[in-house]
Amino acid sequence: MTIKVLTANRLTDGEAVWLGADGEWRETIEGALLARDAEAVAALESAGKAALGANLVVDVNLIDVEERGGELYPLRLRERIRLSGPTIDFEPRKKPENSAVSAA
Amino acid sequence: MYRYDEFDHAFVAARVEQFKDQVQRRLSGELTEDQFKPLRLMNGVYLQLHAYMLRVAVPYGTLSAKQMRKLGSIARVYDRGYGHFTTRQNIQYNWPALGDIPKILDELAEVEMHAMQTSGNCIRNVTADHFAGAAADEVADPRPFAEILRQWSSLHPEFSFLPRKFKIAVTGAEHDRAAIQTHDIGLHLKKNAAGELGFGVYIGGGQGRTPMVAKNIRDFLPAEDLLSYTTAIVRVYNLHGRRDNKYKARIKILVHETGTEELTRQIEAEWRALKESDLKLPQGDINAIDTYFRPPVLPERPEGWGTLAVAKRADAGFAAWVDQNVTPHRHPDYGVVTISLKPIGGIPGDASAEQMELVADIAEKFSQDEIRVSHEQNLVLPHVALADLRTVYDLLLTDGLATANAGLITDIIACPGLDYCALANARSIPVAQRISERFGAPARQSEIGDLKIKISGCINACGHHHVGHIGILGVEKKGEELYQITLGGSADEITTVGEITGRGFSSEEVVDAIEKIVDTYLGLRTGRQENFLAAYRRVGAAPFKEALYGPVSRAA
C-alpha cells in the first residue's frame, strides 16, 4: 500500500506540521511517522484525533507519500506545496538603497 | 469619505472585544475547532495551506492615506511585509498568527476598519466602481448608497445565516466597472427623465461552478426604496434559497429554478408590504450620508495641460504610462490614476508594506487623501491634477509601481491559487507571471491593446475566469495541473460568460496556447480599433479553436 503520514496545521499560527516518529508535530516532513499497513494507519488516525482534541492542531489529514532518493515525497501537488511553501517569490524585495524618494 | 459615528465605533470595538475573548478561549482549549470556526469566519479569519489568512474589508474599495498606512504597518508588524489586494476590493494577509489577530483588529479599529462581512453566509462587503466620485462618465457617486447598504447589512439579524454568501455591487456610470451583472444583486445608479436618482436592479448574477449573468428585474427603482426593495429580495432568497446543497444555494440558482418572472413577482409582493415601512429612506438620511462623500474641492490647475504635454514629449515611458493608466476625471484639470499592482512577472495584487506607505504618502499630497482598491487588483488615485502627474509618476517609479499596463494583456487578475489557497486545485500566480513575461514588452502589449486575462485556480472562480476576455481555469487531472481556456467573457455593461475552447493545456503548454490565441486575434482583427473582445464577438470561437487544436473535420 501507499505510505501515509499525518499532517495538520498548528493551532497557534496555522503553520503546516507533520507528525514525527517521536510523536511530536514538526515543521518538516523529514522524520515523519510512516504508516505502511492498516494497523499503522489506524494508529495515525487516532493520534490525529487526540491532537485535535488536545487543541494542538487543526485540519488533520492523512496524506500519501513515496520515498524518493531517501526523502519523503507527497504524491499530491497540494501537499508538496504545503511542504515547500508557496512556489513563487512572494517575500517583497527591499527597495534599492539609492532610490530614496527625492522628487517630492 | 465616510467617518465612523459613535455607534460605528462602539459596534466595532464591541466586536473586537468579543473576538478577543473567543480567540483566547480557543487557544486555551475552551472552544473546539468546530465551535470556533464559524466565529473566526465571521471575523474574516480563514485557514489556508500554510497559515491563517485574515481578510480585511475595504468598504466599496475606498481608503484614506491613514488607513493605507495602517494596512502597510500591519503587514510589516504582524505579517511578512506584504498584503494581497483581492478581486472584491479587500486586502488579505497571508501569515498572521491566531493570537495576533485581535491586536490587528484593534489596530484596524483605530482607523475605522474591520474584517466583518468578509466571510460566511452573510451579506458581504459591498463593492463599487473604483472610479466612483471621480470619473468623467459618472451620473452620480454610488458610494453613499453602498455605505447605506453597509450600515443596513452589518450584522443584520435576519440575514446573518443566509443559504450562502451574498454579494452586492453598485455602479453609478453607464460603463460598468464594478461588474454588477456578476453579483447576487447589481445596482446601477442612474437618473430618470425628471432628474431623480434611482437604480436599475439586477439579481442572480454569479460565477463559481454555475456562472450566470444577472437578470434585470427593475429599470428604475427610486432611491428612497433601496432598502425596502433589497430587503424584499434577500428575504425571498432567505426563505426559498436552497439549503440542501451548497452548490445550489446562491440566489442565481433560485432565479434559474423559479424563473425570473415568478421570482420577481414574489419579490414585488414582498416589497409592497415593506415599501412604506421604516425601511423607506428619508431624503434627510440620504443627504446626511451624501455629505461624507461630497466631492473634494479641486482647485483649478489649468497649467497642467501645457506641462503635461511637454513632459510627455520629453519621456516616452511617462507618455505611455499617462496614456494607459490615467483616465478622464470629471474636472478637466485632473486625472484618475491607476497604480498597477501587476509589474511584469510579478504577483497580481500583492503590495509590500513600503509600497502601501508610499501610495499613502502620494495620496495625501496629490490625491485629496483618497485611494481606491479596484476589483482588478490595482490601486487608484482618484483625484490627481494633470500638473502633478509627472511628480506622482516619478514617486511611483521609485518602488516599482509605475507599470504602464492598466487594461492590457499583462494586467491579469489571478486568485491566490494553490500557492496559498486550501480550496485550489492548481496554481494561478505562476501562470499569470509567465504570461506577463511572455507579453511584457511595452510595444507588444500596446500592439495587442485592451485584453483582460483572468485566472482562477479552482471552479469557485475568485479569479473571475468566466468573464475574462481570455479566461483560464486551473483544474487537477491525474495529479497534474491542467488549464482550461475560455474565450469571450466580459463583466462590463454587456456581460457574457466565456466559452470553453476544448481540451485543457498542461502548465507547460498553457502560455503557448495563449500566444496562439493572441496571434490569431492579431491576424484577423479589422484594425487596431477592433479589440480582442470585439473581434471574438464578430468571428466566434472557430478560428481560435482551429489555431489551438488544428482544423476541425467538417463531417463532424
Q: Count the neighbouring beta carbons within 10 Å of the beta carbon of residue B512.
A: 12
pLDDT at A92: 86
Tell me which long-range contacts A79-85 makes (C-beta under 8 A, separation of at least 24): A79/A7, A81/B49, A81/B418, A81/B419, A81/B427, A82/A7, A82/A16, A82/B49, A82/B50, A83/A16, A83/A28, A83/A29, A85/B50
Same domain, B283 and B322: no
- What's the one-letter identity of residue B232? A
Q: Judge whether B136 lies within some domain.
A: no
pLDDT at B556: 45
Same domain, B350 and B471: no
Q: What is the dihedral of CA B68, B69, B74, B79, to 10 degrees?
A: 80
CB-based contact (8 Å) between B140 and chain A?
A: no
- What's the one-letter identity of residue B349? G
What cell does B183 get? 453579483
Q: Judge whether A55 lies within some domain.
A: yes
pLDDT at A94: 63
Same domain, B272 and B152: yes
**Nearest to B95, CA basis, from B54, B57, B43:** B54
pLDDT at A1: 82
Q: Is a pLDDT exceeding 50 seen at residue B56?
A: yes
pLDDT at B479: 87
Condensed to tens digits (0 to 9), the pLDDT of residues A44-101 reads: 999 999 999 999 999 999 999 999 999 999 999 999 999 999 999 998 866 554 444 4
Among all residues of chain A, which has the CA nearest to that of B431? A88
CA B151 – CA B225 distance, rounded (Å) = 15
- Domain count of chain A? 1
B72 pLDDT tier (thresholds 50, 70, 90):
very high
pLDDT at A104: 35
* Residue linked to cell 500583492: B350
Range of the domain at A36: 3-84
What cell does B102 get? 485581535
Q: Which of B292, B319, B353 is the last residue of a domain?
A: B292
Q: Judge whether B412 lies within some domain.
A: no
Q: Judge whether A89 lies within some domain.
A: no
Select the residue of B51, B80, B355 nearest A13 (Cβ to Cβ). Answer: B51
- Going from the C-alpha of B400 to that of each of A87, B351, B355, the distances in angstroms are 22, 10, 8
Chain B segment 442-501 residues within 8 A of A by beta carbon are 476, 479-481
Which CATH number is B343's domain given?
3.90.480.20
CB-based contact (8 Å) between A38 and chain B?
A: no
Cross-chain Cβ contact B395/A103 below 8 Å? yes
Condensed to tens digits (0 to 9), the pLDDT of residues B450-496 reads: 999 999 999 999 999 999 999 999 999 998 999 999 999 999 999 99
- What's the one-letter identity of residue B62? T
Condensed to tens digits (0 to 9), the pLDDT of residues B84-106 reads: 999 999 999 999 999 999 999 99
Same domain, B360 and B266: no
Q: Judge whether A16 lies within some domain.
A: yes
What cell does B11 get? 459596534
Cross-chain Cβ contact A77/B476 below 8 Å? yes
Q: Judge whether B410 lies within some domain.
A: no
CB-based contact (8 Å) between A56 and chain B?
A: no
Q: Is a pLDDT exceeding 70 seen at residue B318?
A: yes
A96-100, B182-186, B432-436 — which is least confidently predicted?
A96-100
Same domain, B285 and B148: yes
Cα R_g (chain B), whole angstroms:
23
Same domain, B20 and B68: yes
Same domain, B268 and B326: no
Condensed to tens digits (0 to 9), the pLDDT of residues B116-134 reads: 999 999 999 999 999 999 9
Q: Is a pLDDT exceeding 80 seen at residue B387?
A: yes
CB contacts, 8 Å: A95 with chain B: 354, 398-399
Same domain, B28 and B104: yes
Please give the average per-residue pLDDT across B198-218, as a whole number. 97
pLDDT at B254: 98
Which CATH number is B146's domain given?
3.30.413.10
B60 pLDDT tier (thresholds 50, 70, 90):
very high
CB contacts, 8 Å: B431 with chain A: none
pLDDT at A95: 55
Cross-chain Cβ contact B47/A9 below 8 Å? yes
Q: Which of B55, B87, B110 is the last residue of a domain?
A: B110
Q: Judge whether B160 lies within some domain.
A: yes
The H or E element that residue B510 is part of is helix B507-524
- State phi, psi for B297 to the nearest 5 degrees: -75, 115
Same domain, B146 and B283: yes
Cross-chain Cβ contact B51/A15 below 8 Å? yes
pLDDT at B553: 60
**Nearest to A101, CA basis, from B301, B313, B365:** B365
Cross-chain Cβ contact B419/A90 below 8 Å? yes
Beta bridge partners of B221: B199
Q: Closest approach of chain B CAs to the CA of A95, in angstroms?
A: 6
Instruction: Answer positive or negative: Cα dihedral of B304, B307, B313, B318.
Output: negative
Residues, chain B: 556
Cross-chain Cβ contact B80/A95 below 8 Å? no
What cell does B109 get? 479599529
Instruction: Answer positive or negative: Cα dihedral of B27, B28, B33, B39.
Output: negative
3-state secondary structure B216-254: EEEEEEEHHHHHHHHHHHHHHHHHHCCCCCHHHCCHHHH
Cross-chain Cβ contact B29/A54 below 8 Å? yes
Please give the average per-residue pLDDT across B510-518, as a whole number. 98
Chain B segment 374-433 residues within 8 A of A by beta carbon are 391, 394-395, 398-399, 418-420, 422, 424-427, 429-430, 433
Q: Judge whether B125 lies within some domain.
A: no
Range of the domain at B460: 417-555
Q: Judge whether B284 lies within some domain.
A: yes
CA B264 – CA B185 distance, rounded (Å) = 13
Which ipTM did the prediction report? Answer: 0.93
Same domain, B277 and B343: no
- Going from the C-alpha of B226 to that of each of B19, B63, B171, B282, the distances in angstroms are 32, 25, 14, 11
Q: pTM of the full predicted structure?
A: 0.96
CB-based contact (8 Å) between B338 and chain A?
A: no
